[in-house]
């Protein structure tokens, strides 16, 4: 028997103002996108913005439904849109922010849900390069993760079926 340890490092910035300018700009786009979320049920508006390697920036939001399982997280709306509009494009960085319309508090990062982590892993495997994540509320600390797969240890991918 042996014990293995998984660890990864990530960066925590005290505020968006401390971020490298390109990350701050992308996070600003994610924040602005929250205004376009369709979240009448949770009133938790999520915005995501991707910087592609071709320089394009594309944004997306969560889209809810009266039948709750039909709703889609901002991250998966984003990945689907990118695949459809820029097929084959590699994603460099994704920024994610949110506006909690109930509490009006948005001071710490939220992290992608489990299904979105799996979808991010699929995209990384597909493009064969890591996707960086920039995660922050409308204010407060911002977390930067340099490989989305770090959020899904033991993740299952197509490579497992080869
Ligand atoms: N949501 C996202 O869009 N992304 C996440 O990573 C977490 C949750 C959405 C789904 C739902 O519309 C609302 O936030 C509350 O769960």
pLDDT at 105 over 90: no
Residue matched to tokens 């293995």: 4
**Ligand 1 centre from 124 Cα, in Å?**
21
Tell whether ligand 1 has an atom less than 6 A from the beta carbon of residue 146.
no
- pLDDT value of position 5: 96
- Residue 66, number of CB atoms within 10 A of its CB: 8
Tell whether ligand 1 has an atom less than 6 A from the beta carbon of residue 74.
yes
Q: Average pLDDT in the 76-90 region?
A: 97
Q: Which residue has the higher pLDDT, 47 or 105?
A: 47
- pLDDT value of position 146: 97
Annotated domain spans of the chain: 21-156
**What's the N-to-C CA distance of the chain in angstroms?**
28
The answer to whether the CB of 96 falls within 8 A of the CB of 48 is: yes
Q: Which atom of ligand 1 is nearest to the CA of 42?
A: 15
pLDDT at 159 over 90: no
CA distances from 152 to 8, 9, 119 (A): 11, 14, 10
- pLDDT value of position 158: 87
Beta carbons within 8 Å of 120's beta carbon, 6+ residues apart: 75, 79, 94, 112, 131, 133, 148, 149, 151, 152
Euclidean distance between CA atoms 7 and 88, whole angstroms: 31
pTM for this one? 0.96
- Mean pLDDT rounded to a whole number for the chain: 97
Q: Which atom of ligand 1 is nearest to the CA of 61?
A: 3
- pLDDT value of position 132: 98
Q: Average pLDDT in the 122-142 region?
A: 97
- 75 noted as active-site residue: yes
Q: Topology of domain 21-156, per CATH?
A: Cytidine Deaminase; domain 2 (3.40.140)
């Amino acid at each position: 028997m042996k014990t293995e340890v998984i660890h990864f490092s990530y960066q925590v910035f005290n505020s968006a103002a401390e971020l490298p300018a390109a990350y701050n700009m992308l996070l600003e786009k994610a924040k602005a996108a929250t205004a376009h979320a369709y979240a009448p049920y949770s009133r938790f508006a999520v915005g995501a913005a991707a910087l592609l390697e071709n320089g394009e920036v594309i944004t997306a939001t969560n889209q809810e439904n009266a039948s709750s399982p039909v709703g889609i997280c901002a991250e998966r709306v984003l990945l689907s849109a990118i695949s459809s509009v820029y097929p084959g494009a590699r994603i460099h960085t994704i920024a994610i922010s949110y506006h909690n319309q109930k509490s009006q508090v948005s001071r710490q990062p939220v992290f992608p849900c489990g299904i979105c982590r799996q979808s991010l892993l699929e995209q990384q495997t597909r493009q064969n390069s890591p996707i960086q994540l920039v995660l922050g509320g409308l204010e407060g600390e911002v977390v930067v993760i340099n490989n989305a797969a770090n959020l899904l240890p033991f993740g299952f991918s197509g490579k497992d079926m080869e």
